[in-house]
A and B are shown apart, each in its own frame.
Chain A
Amino acid sequence: MAAMSPSERRLQKELMSLMREPPPGVTVDGDQASQNLQLWTVHMEGVPGTLYEGEKFVLQFKFTSKYPFDSPEVTFIGNNIPVHPHVYSNGHICLSILTDDWSPALSVQSVCLSIVSMLSSCKEKKRPPDNSLYVKTCNKNPKKTKWWYHDDSV
């Protein structure tokens, strides 16, 4: 086996700890991720007692070879995209730690926890106000979007 790059080593370690000790309601598709370390699928359940109780979501993580210096590209995929003021109907998420506030000390686990808490603190299920315009005009990669993080409450 060829020597692993630092980015692969780190992903390997993260995958292992996420499989062994996943945060509640979060499961990573370990088989898929170990075949391609740069593309992970994470299943997420809506937290009981919140607006998303009983719902199931799928998150996709894409990593570049510069990870963790480069933030992962995280989107909701599949049939059920959560209806949330920071989640566009194409799965893009407006969350500052995914772009401007990314830090290499964050991890897949901390991103998952942020998303869980973002969903859990939601008071009213609705799409972002500019959803239809954004979905029509945006780049496929949410990291290319210049986000305005205007709302800290949700």
Chain B
Amino acid sequence: MFNNNNLYDDVEDLLLNDHNYTVTSLVTQIESIINGNIQPSENIISYLVDTKILEDISNIIEYEHIPVFFGKTLRDIKLVVIDDNLREHEIFVKYNNFRKLVITSVAMPHSEIQDQEYNSLQDIVMACKMHVNRLSAYFTELQSIDRMCTVMEPINPSFKDDYRRIRLDDRVWLHLEVSPEGLGTNIYLVGQSEKWNSKLQAGLLSWDHDKDIVENISRVFDLTSLSSSSMNSLISLTKESAPLHTNVCSICLCTEMQDNPSVPLPLCLNANCGVYFHRYCLYQWLVALDGGRIPAFGVASGSCPSCFKPTTCSEKDN
């Protein structure tokens, strides 16, 4: 908007050359320099976006009541589309050029709506509204899985991920994918267990697609405890303390530690061990093994609590 270099030069010239100014005359002169450097306002629009897009934005705010947000530049636009079930969907749009808009990101499985160019935001809103309402069953199923089950993966489940891995017990998860129509597909167990597997095999034959997925799962695996609402206090306690990872420390049986931001890692030197420990827990144990003596150089050694092979553990993370 300003030609900054010119402005500076002009003011500098003024200050260097004219030493007989009064404050008033100086201010007047600077003012005139600034005014002379501001360019006509049409240039502002053409530099950033075209007027068509500004109209477009004001239309969808005014008539569609769709909130519009801008990202790092005015060309990065976020729209929030609300579907028939009042779920909010964020649509990220990039304004590439006049009448050339693309959807860069939506929290939905990939679809054709992301592969085309649009003339206007209005067109994008139309396409997205139709699309989200087509996917209605898909969203509903995922929402109810996320609400009712302990989802181990994805770590931050969203509508973008069409799969869920649900905890059945400490060693076994159920993998399933949700089709755009909201049906469970590609269902299998992660981890081995005869008990769960025989239930699954029997259950797949009687899977009832007219019922929702959570209902099917809890019937197939006779889980009442799958539902967080019916869990007793003991179970909800662990649910809260062992949220998203399976790699619990085998000493404290937790992932997170109080007062100590540490993640369980396979710390044993024996490559075949692979059992996860918090550094703090393993260190404490090796020190205790040695009669509680604080080891030299902060490195404790002894036998691994799990594989019993010799190992070491330093007090501090390197």
Chain A positions near chain B (C-beta within 8 angstroms): 3, 6, 9-10, 12-17, 19-21, 34, 68-69, 103-106
Contact = CB atoms under 8 A, between A and B. Distances in A.
Contact of A69 (B238, B254, B285): B285
B308 A103 contact: yes
Interface of B: 169-170, 225, 234-235, 237-238, 241-242, 250-254, 257-258, 275, 281, 284-285, 288, 305-306, 308
Contact of A104 (B170, B241, B305, B308): B305
Contacts of B238: 12-13, 16
Contact of B252 (A9, A20, A106): A9
A69 B282 CA distance: 10
Contacts of A3: 258
Contacts of B285: 69, 103-104
Given A34-B234, A103-B305, A104-B285, A13 B169 contact: no
B280 to A, nearest CB: 10
Contacts of A9: 241, 252-254
Contacts of B306: 103, 105
B258 A6 contact: yes
28 contacts: A3-B258, A6-B254, A6-B257, A9-B241, A9-B253, A9-B254, A10-B251, A10-B252, A12-B238, A13-B238, A13-B241, A13-B254, A14-B253, A16-B235, A16-B238, A20-B169, A20-B235, A21-B169, A68-B252, A69-B285, A69-B288, A103-B308, A104-B250, A104-B251, A104-B281, A104-B285, A104-B305, A105-B305
Nearest to A11: B253
A34 to B, nearest CB: 7
B237 A12 contact: yes
